[in-house]
Amino acid sequence: MAATAAQIAQLRRMIDEPATTTYADDALAGYIESHPTLDCNGQEPGSWLLSSPPEWIENTLWLPTYDLAFAAADIWAEKAAALAPDYDFAADGGNYTRSQAYEQALKMARYWASRQAVGSITLTAWPRSALTAEVIGNLREPD
C-alpha cells in the first residue's frame, strides 16, 4: 500500500523539509512504507514462512499503518551522516562551529527514535524437531 499525502506532509514537518528539493514525495513514501507496524486491530503486515528459502506472506486483513517516527529517525540519521565531514575552524578572527549542525541532527535522530512504536517478535525454534523434549529452564523434564 502507498503512503498517503497526509502522511508525507506530516513526515516533512517531522524532518523539517518543507520543500521537495532534498527529498521528493516518492522518496519519503519509500521511507514511510519501509516501516510498517501493527494496525488498530492488532494485525501485522505479514510474516515470514519458515521454508527453504524463507517466503514473505502478506496479511490481507492488515490496514496500512506506518511508524512515521521510525521513518523520521532514519532520515535525521541520514542528515547527520551528510553533516559528519563538517568541522570547526577559526579564520579571520571568527570561529565557525559547523559541527553543531551534525550534533543537532543526531539529537533529532535520537528524539524520533525514542518515539518509535513499541514492538515485539516471537521466536520459533527451527527445525521444529528440536522441540520434541519438554524442558524447564535449561534442564530436561524428568521422564
Sketch the domain layout of the chain as residue ranges: 5-140
Q: How far is CA 129 from the centre of its chain?
A: 34
Complete DSSP assignment for the chain: -PPPHHHHHHHHHHHT--STTTS-HHHHHHHHHTSB---TT---SEEEE-SSS-EEEE-TT----B-HHHHHHHHHHHHHHHHTT--EEEETTEEEETHHHHHHHHHHHHHHHTTSPP-------SSGGGGSS-EETTEEPP-
pLDDT, residue 28, reads 95
* pTM listed for this prediction: 0.73
pLDDT, residue 132, reads 55
pLDDT, residue 68, reads 96
Q: Which residues of the chain register pLDDT less than 50?
A: none
pLDDT, residue 48, reads 77
